[in-house]
Structure 1
C-alpha cells in the first residue's frame, strides 16, 4: 500500500480528506431532515484512515463504471431545477455522462412508442440507450425525466484467504475448512492466438483474483496462488435486477413509481435526478451499499478467515439519501460527496452504532460541483439556453486557486515575469482558442510531476486530476513540506517556491517549443484534441483502415475538473482527451418538444454513412439537436421509414 511505500504522513497529504465545508455536497443537512446533529467524528475518522492506494488493485480490478463514469476525475454532471428558478415556471433537467472517448458513440438516441396491448401499460419514452441493454437509460417519457451520475460507491473488498496446506481446494472459515468451488473459464483472443483455459477458485466471499498469474519471462500461466491468495467480494458479481429498474423508469408516471423502480437499481449506485410535468423535482441514491464492521474501512485487504470483517448487509433503500422538492429549488451532482458527514451519525443512531455506513471514499473533490452551483445561482432564471452555457463552461477553479501563488515569485528571466503577468490576467476558462489555457496546462503538467511524480512509487500512475489539484492547493500553505523536496537531488532540499519556479519555467519552455514564440498565437486546442478511435479496427496498424474508421484530431475546449470535463492525464505526457461528455441532454418539462440533446459522433456505426460523424462538430461546439418527441416531429424530420411485418 501507499502507507508502506511512502509513509502515512505523505500519503495522507497526497490523498487529503474530502473538503467538507469547503466544497458542496450533493444534499444539505436540512434536505436530509437534519438541522442540529453533532459532528460525525466516528465516520470521518473511518473515511480519513481509508484513503490508501492498494497497488495490486490497479492491475486486477475491472472497470466498475458501467458506462456512467468511474474514478476520481471522470464521472458525470447532472442537475434538476424547479420552476421557481426557471423562466417558464416548470422544471428543467440536464445530464452529461463522462466516458472514455470512442468511435462510434456508446449511445444511441431512440424513441420507443408502443400502444397498450391486452391491458399492458403504454411504452412512450425517448432518450439514450445502450446497445447492451433494452430500454432507455437516460431520458424522459410523457410524465417524468431522469438523469444519472456515478456515486462511486465502495462496493467491493479484498479478503486475504487461508488455504489448507494439505488441500488447495479448501479454505479456513471460523476455525473450520470449507470447500472451494472450482470452475473452468476459457479466454478467447481475437488476434489468432489459441484460447487459454484457466481454473477459477471461488469462496463464499468471492473469486480468488490473484490465481493464474502470468510469468513475465516465460509467458506461462502459473496456476493457483497458495502463498497470499485474495478473494474479491463485489456486489456486481451477484445476479442483479437493473433491467427491471430500467423498465420501471421507462414506465413511471410520478415520484412514487420512480422510486419504486429504483429499488431494483442495485449495481452500480447512481445519483438520480428527477423532474415531472406536474412541476416536481427530486433526487435519489439507489443501490446496494454494504454495511461494514466499525473498524473496517473498506479500502485495505482484511482477514478472510473469520466473519469479523464480513459485510453486515446493505443500507436499506429507505435510508439512502433522497430529497423531494428541495427548498433551494435545485439539486446538482458531479460525483462529489453525496451527503455531509452528519448523515452517517443519523444512520448509526437508527441502524446501530457498531457499524461503518460510509458510502464511499472515492468522490470527486468537488470542483465541477462547485462551479455548477455557482452558475445555477448566477444565471437564474433558467432556460434551455442558460443550461447550454452551463454544460459548456470551461472554468477551472483549481487554476483560480493556484495561480495567485505564482504572482509572489520573481524570475531571473524577464520573459518569464512577463509570461506570468500575462497568465494572471486570464479568466481561467479552458476555451479551445485560449492561449493562456495552453500555458497553464503546460505549467500544471510540470508542477504535478515535480511535486508528486518524483516521490510516487512506480506502481502508482500520476493522474493530475482533482485529487492532485486539491492536494497541491493544500500544500501551497506548507512551503517546506517533504513533498516539495526533489527526491533526485540528495544534496539540496527544495521548497515550494523552488518547485513553482522550476515548473513554470519548464512549462513555458515546453509551450514555446510546441507552439512557437508568439504567445498571442498559442491555442489550447492545438494541444488538447479529441481523436475518436474505432475498436478494434482503429488500432489495426493498417493506415488506410485507420483513416477510414477513425476521426480526428479535433481541437477541443474544456479540461479535467471543468464542467465541460474533457479529461487528459499527466502520466500520458499528452494533453489528448481520453474521457469526455459522451452526450448532453436538456429536458424541458414545460414543453417536452423543446428538449435538446447531442452525443459525440453520430447515430450510425458505418464509416461510409453521413451519420457516422455528423454530430462531432455540434458536440465540440456545445450545440444540440431537438429530442424528437411527438409523432408529428418524428415524421417531419424522417429521412427513411422501415416497417417490419410478421411473415404470416
Structure 2
C-alpha cells in the first residue's frame, strides 16, 4: 500500500487511485465502504451530483439561470414532484440499507464541507448537505428519464396523429395490435396543454438518458476458459463531460466489488463481485399511462355521474433577479393533469408506476454485495422498481436473465399505449405484476442470452413491452456469438466494436436491384453494410433512408413539415425506427398511397443519391461538452473536448447515432464498456471521459483515448 498516495488514510477507511485514476475504497466494514463511496462521488463528481439535485427539485431558475428554457425545466420537475413523500420511502428502507445510505451521505458531506465545485461559487449557490431525501430523488429521476424520452413521447405522438386526422388504417399498421380501446372522437376533443416531456428537459445534459444498450452473457460451455463471460455497454449520450458513469473498486476483507456507479446513489449499478456479475439495458416496458379526464369547475367525472375535486398543489418557482412564478398543479389517482380543470373540457392525466418508489430498489441494490448466485441476483434485481433488462453470471457457472420494473396490471385487451377514459373504473390499474412473471430465464439452452432493447416478451408470463427499439443489434450479437466456439475476452471486445448493420442488410436486399447506374449507385450496390468511418456507402444509404422516411410518412401521411421535425428535432425515428421500418419493408401498405414499394424505392434512390459521396465519418463528428460551461468558453480553455468521430449507426452493435433534438446535438453511443470473465478476478472497461468532473484534474478525460481506440483497462481488487 505504500506505493499509493492516499486520498483518505484512516484506520477504518482508505481511499487511493490506481494508475487509471479509478478510486479504490478499502473499508473496515460495509458501512465504511459506503462512506468512502460518498466521499469519492463528492470529490470527483460533486458538480454532477449537485446539478442533478438542483434540476430534480425544480430549482434551476433559482440557482443557475432565469431563462424561459430553464423555467420549462423547473415546471417539468415541479409537475413530477419526485421529492414528495420521500420520508415514506425512507421508512421502508431496511435498517442496514438505511445505515449504509446515511454513511454514504456522511462521506459526501465530509468532502463538501472541505470543498464544493468552484462553478457554484460563481453562481452564488451554497449547497445544502446531501441527505437521504436526495438519494430517493435521484433514484426516481434515473428510473424515469428513459421513459421521459421514449414511452411518453410515442404515446403523445399517437394522440397528435389522431388529432391530425391520420387514418385508423395507417395507425394500425404503425402500432399493430396496440390500439384496443382507442376512441378517436374522444381523443380529437382532447385539449393538450403542452408536451408531457418538454424537449428542454428530455435532453438537458446533466441528466442521464439510459436508452439504448447491449448486454449479453455466455455460459462456460461456449468459452475457451470454461467460465462464464458477461459484457455490457450502456448506450447513453456521450457528448457530455463528465460521463454519466463513475467507476470504483470497493474492498472489505477478501470481498470486492468492481464496476460503475451513479454519482449521488450508493451501490454498484453494473459490475461484479467475487461471486456474481451483472449488466443492464433498458427494457422499453410500458410503465406510464395517460387517462382522459372530463373536467369542469375544477372537478373530474367519475362513474359517469359523479364529480370529484382534484387535489391542488401550489408551487412557487424562484428566479434569479426575476419575479417568482406561482403555478398550480391538479392531481388525482391518475397522476397530474395536463391543463386547468376549471376550464371545461377533456384533458390528459399521466401516471408513472415508479413515481412513489426508491426504497425497494435501494434495499436490493445494497444486497447485491452479498449475492452469491445468479438465482439470488435475479431475485434482488427483479425487485428493482425501474425497468431494466439484467443479465447475470456467477462463479459456479450459471447464467441468467431477469427483467425488472413495476409493470401495471391493466384490464385484458389494452396495451397502455392508448389513453383511456378515466371515468371508467375498469381502466384503472389493478396493482403491479409480480417480478417472477416478467421475462426471465436461468441457464438458457442455447448457452447465452442477449438483450439490446429488443422485444423479450416471449420469455415472460406477461408481455410488458408494446413497442421496442428493434431486433437488429440483438440479432447481430446473437449471430456473432453463435458462429464461434471457445469464445475469449477479445471476441467480446470485437462485438463491442462491431459496425455491421442487419437493418441495412434487409433494406439492401430490396434496394440493390433498383439502384441507378450512377457512380453513387454503384458504390452503394457494393456496400458490405458496415458503418465504418471511411465508408462512403454508409453515407449514401443514410441519404436514401432519410429520404424514404420523408417520402412515405411525410408526403403520404403526416406531412413533410411534421416528418421533418420528427426526423430532425426529436428522438421518435431514433427510438422507434423498427415500427417505421416494418412499413417501409412491407410489400404493400396504406402508407404507400397506391404506389408499389419498389417504385417508391427506385424513385427515392434516384433523388437521394444525386449527391457527392463522402466518408461516413465526416457526418459523425461529436464534441464532448462540459455539463455547465459547454460551448460557453473558448476551445483552448479545455472544458470541451473533441471533436471525436463515431463509427456505427442506429442498428449496429457499436451504436453511433448523432442527431438533433430540442435544438441541440445529442447522441447515443456506448458511453461505458465492461467485460467480466470469471476466469480471473478482474473487470475490463473503458469510459468516454474520466473519473473526475474537475477540468484541471489529470483524470478529467483520461480514458477517452482508450475508449476511442478500443483499449480496455483492467480493474482489480
Give the shorter-chain TM-score range: 0.7 to 0.9
Where structure 2 has 5 or more consecutive residues not aligned to the other structure, the ranges are: 1-158
Structure 2 vs 1, CA of residues 440 and 170 (structure 1 numbering), >3 Å: closer, same or farther?
closer
Q: 1:184 aligns with which of 314, 318, 327?
A: 314
Cα offset, 1:464, TM superposition = 3.9
Do the aligned residues in 2 keep the contact of 1:566 with 1:577 (CA within 8 Å)? no
Whether 2:514 is the aligned partner of 1:374: answer no
Structure 2 vs 1, CA of residues 477 and 57 (structure 1 numbering), >3 Å: closer, same or farther?
farther
Write the deviation string for residues 582-618 of structure 1: whole angstroms up to 9, x where unpaired: 211000112122x201111111212223322232232
Do the aligned residues in 2 keep the contact of 1:50 with 1:297 (CA within 8 Å)? no
Partners of 1:562 and 1:246 lie apart in 2 by 31
Q: Which residue is equivalent to 2:171?
A: 11
What pairs with 1:73-84 in structure 2 (closer than 5 Å)? Answer: 74-84=211-221
Q: Which residue is equivalent to 1:198?
A: 327
Partners of 2:631 and 2:464 lie apart in 1 by 38
Q: Matched residue of 1:127: which SS?
A: strand
Structure 2 vs 1, CA of residues 209 and 49 (structure 1 numbering), >3 Å: closer, same or farther?
closer
Q: What is the aligned length? A: 539
Structure 2 vs 1, CA of residues 110 and 257 (structure 1 numbering), >3 Å: closer, same or farther?
same
Write the deviation string for residues 342-393 of structure 1: whole angstroms up to 9, x where unpaired: x67xx4xxxxxxxxx5312121220111101000112332111000000111
Q: Which residue is equivalent to 2:372?
A: 253
Q: Which residue is equivalent to 2:271?
A: 139
Partners of 2:342 and 2:484 lie apart in 1 by 60
Q: 1:532 aligns with which of 621, 624, 630?
A: 624
What pairs with 1:169-248 in structure 2 (closer than 5 Å)? Answer: 172=302, 175-188=305-318, 193-211=322-340, 225-240=343-358, 241-248=360-367
Do the aligned residues in 2 keep the contact of 1:68 with 1:149 (CA within 8 Å)? no
Q: Which residue is equivalent to 2:640?
A: 550
Q: Which residue is equivalent to 1:264?
A: 383
Q: Which residue is equivalent to 2:94?
A: none
Structure 2 vs 1, CA of residues 296 and 57 (structure 1 numbering), >3 Å: closer, same or farther?
farther
Partners of 1:422 and 1:133 lie apart in 2 by 50
Q: Matched residue of 2:618: which SS?
A: helix
Partners of 1:256 and 1:477 lie apart in 2 by 42
Q: 1:362 aligns with which of 459, 463, 467?
A: 467
Partners of 1:459 and 1:239 lie apart in 2 by 37
Do the aligned residues in 2 keep the contact of 1:398 with 1:470 (CA within 8 Å)? no
Where structure 1 has 5 or more consecutive residues not aligned to the other structure, the ranges are: 18-44, 116-121, 212-222, 348-356, 486-492, 513-518, 631-648
Partners of 1:467 and 1:84 lie apart in 2 by 35
Q: Which residue is equivalent to 1:396?
A: 501
Cα offset, 1:134, TM superposition = 1.2
Structure 2 vs 1, CA of residues 459 and 420 (structure 1 numbering), >3 Å: closer, same or farther?
closer
Write the deviation string for residues 113-132 of structure 1: whole angstroms up to 9, x where unpaired: 235xxxxxx87312001113
Partners of 2:282 and 2:183 lie apart in 1 by 19
Give the RMSD, CA atoms, in angstroms: 3.3
Q: Which residue is equivalent to 2:677?
A: 588
TM norm structure 2: 0.69
Structure 2 vs 1, CA of residues 159 and 390 (structure 1 numbering), >3 Å: closer, same or farther?
same
Partners of 2:182 and 2:684 lie apart in 1 by 42
Write the deviation string for residues 86-141 of structure 1: whole angstroms up to 9, x where unpaired: 000000000111112322101111112235xxxxxx87312001113111111111
What pairs with 1:346-495 in structure 2 (closer than 5 Å)? Answer: 347=461, 357-409=462-514, 411=516, 414=517, 416=518, 418-454=519-555, 455-457=557-559, 461-462=566-567, 463-465=572-574, 467-468=576-577, 471-472=580-581, 474-478=583-587, 481-485=589-593, 495=596
Q: Which residue is equivalent to 2:53?
A: none
Structure in which a larger fraction of residues adopt helix: 2
Q: Matched residue of 1:6: which SS?
A: coil
Structure 2 vs 1, CA of residues 591 and 545 (structure 1 numbering), >3 Å: closer, same or farther?
same
Partners of 2:527 and 2:659 lie apart in 1 by 23
Structure number with greater CO (CA < 8 Å, separation at least 6) is: 1
Write the deviation string for residues 456-502 of structure 1: whole angstroms up to 9, x where unpaired: 255561344474456446544536x45345xxxxxxx8654454344
Partners of 1:151 and 1:67 lie apart in 2 by 19
Do the aligned residues in 2 keep the contact of 1:183 with 1:199 (CA within 8 Å)? yes
Do the aligned residues in 2 keep the contact of 1:153 with 1:359 (CA within 8 Å)? yes
What pairs with 1:304-315 in structure 2 (closer than 5 Å)? Answer: 304-315=422-433
Partners of 1:407 and 1:51 lie apart in 2 by 42
Partners of 2:273 and 2:215 lie apart in 1 by 18
TM norm structure 1: 0.76
Q: Which residue is equivalent to 2:76?
A: none
What pairs with 1:279-290 in structure 2 (closer than 5 Å)? Answer: 279-290=397-408
Structure 2 vs 1, CA of residues 613 and 250 (structure 1 numbering), >3 Å: closer, same or farther?
same
Q: Which residue is equivalent to 1:26?
A: none
Q: Which residue is equivalent to 2:155?
A: none
Q: Matched residue of 2:605: which SS?
A: helix
Structure 2 vs 1, CA of residues 581 and 47 (structure 1 numbering), >3 Å: closer, same or farther?
farther
Do the aligned residues in 2 keep the contact of 1:401 with 1:473 (CA within 8 Å)? no
Partners of 2:661 and 2:605 lie apart in 1 by 18
Structure 2 vs 1, CA of residues 482 and 205 (structure 1 numbering), >3 Å: closer, same or farther?
closer
Do the aligned residues in 2 keep the contact of 1:169 with 1:181 (CA within 8 Å)? no
Do the aligned residues in 2 keep the contact of 1:602 with 1:616 (CA within 8 Å)? yes
